[in-house]
Chains A and B, each alone.
Chain A
Amino acid sequence: MTDPTHHSLIEDTQGIAFGVVMAGLGIHVMTHMGFVTGQTTGLAVLIAYATGLPFAGVYFALNLPFLWLGYRRMGARFAVKTLITTAALSLLMAVLPRWMELGTINPAFAALLFGTLFGIAALAVVRHGGSFGGFSIVALMVQDRWHIQAGHVQLAFDVVLFAVAALILDPVMLGYSFLGAATFSLFLAVNHRRDRYIAA
């Protein structure tokens, strides 16, 4: 047995690989249905829908400036792990359509499924010291500088995203997207507990 309070390199690798595959499947399901979501992934998906550009490329490019901010706020180790995680996810998204072609999916189930998959992906990656990068870094910096809670900044970002999405999507699709995003948030709110999963 390895040290209970610290993950080994192999343990972190399998945790982040698991997270990337779950996130990739979640995004695959979400984009197959034409749904949107919050945060950086949501912004990338909106841009991909509006421009027709591939999600993988948009997502990776969008994360680069945040990577620089992440390096300045959280250090090199965090930035490298984030770079590996986002690069792996972008790569997986580029090949996933060839490995898995989805057929018909019940939209309510699809929403619950992508929310749950995002949730377990984020949980695994965060527990193993990685990150899917992006806007949350900005939220943390805003919190440092202006003392506005990071969670509130992220919420405001999502409100703007969904407002823009409302111009593009019909209300039913928007409703399912909201269901998925809410599932994701609820899952993390219940399960992201550093006082229960004590390894770092």
Chain B
Amino acid sequence: MTDPKSHTLLEDAQGLAFGATMAAFGIVVLTHLGLVTGQTAGLAVLISYGTGWGFGPVFFAINIPFYVLGYRRMGLAFTVKTALSVAALSGLSMVMPGWVRFADLNPVFGAVLFGFVSGSALLAIFRHGGSLGGVGILALILQDRTGFKAGYTQLLFDAALFAVALTMLPPVTITYSFLGALTVNVVIAINHRRDRYIVT
């Protein structure tokens, strides 16, 4: 058995690989149903729907400026893990639609499935010291500088995203999207506990 207090390189690699694969699978489900979501991935999905560009390249490009911020706030290991996770998700989301196709998918089940899959993806990536970049880092820096809670910044960002989505998509699609985003957040809120998964 390896040291319970810290992950080996191999353990981190499999954790991040799991996270990127599950997150990409979540994006395949989400975009198959034409739904949107919150945070940086949500912005990338919206831009992708609006312009016809692929999710992968857009998500990758949006995240580039955040690496500088991430490096200054969270250090090198976090930034490298984040960059690798973001690159893996971008790449996988480009090839995975060719690997798995749905003939038919119930949108309510699809939304909950997206939430579970993405929630566990983020959980694994967080527990292995990385992130999927983007707005979360910005929100943390804003909290450092002004004291404005990071959670509220993310909430406001999502509210703006969903407001824009409302002008592009029918209300029923927004409702399913909301169910999916809610599921992700509940999974993270209940299970992201550094006092339970004690490895740092």
Contact = CB atoms under 8 A, between A and B. Distances in A.
Interface of A: 1, 4, 10-11, 14-15, 18, 21-22, 25, 98-106, 109-110, 112-113, 116, 120, 124, 187, 190-191, 193, 195-199
27 contacts: A4-B195, A11-B190, A14-B186, A14-B187, A14-B190, A15-B191, A18-B120, A22-B120, A98-B106, A100-B102, A100-B105, A100-B110, A102-B101, A103-B101, A104-B101, A105-B99, A105-B100, A105-B101, A109-B96, A110-B100, A116-B18, A124-B120, A187-B14, A190-B10, A191-B14, A196-B4, A196-B199
A18 B187 contact: yes
A197 B196 contact: yes
B102 A113 contact: no
A113 B105 contact: no
Contact of B112 (A21, A112, A187, A197): A21
Given A25-B113, A101-B103, A102-B103, 16 more contacts: A14-B187, A18-B116, A18-B120, A99-B106, A101-B104, A101-B105, A104-B101, A105-B100, A106-B98, A106-B100, A116-B21, A124-B120, A190-B10, A191-B15, A193-B1, A195-B1
Range of interface residues on B (Cβ < 8 Å): 35 or more
Contact of B4 (A11, A187, A193, A199): A193
Contacts of B9: none
Contacts of B197: 196-198
A103 B11 contact: no
B18 A109 contact: no
B72 interface: no
Interface string B104-130: 111001101100100010000000000
B109 A113 contact: no
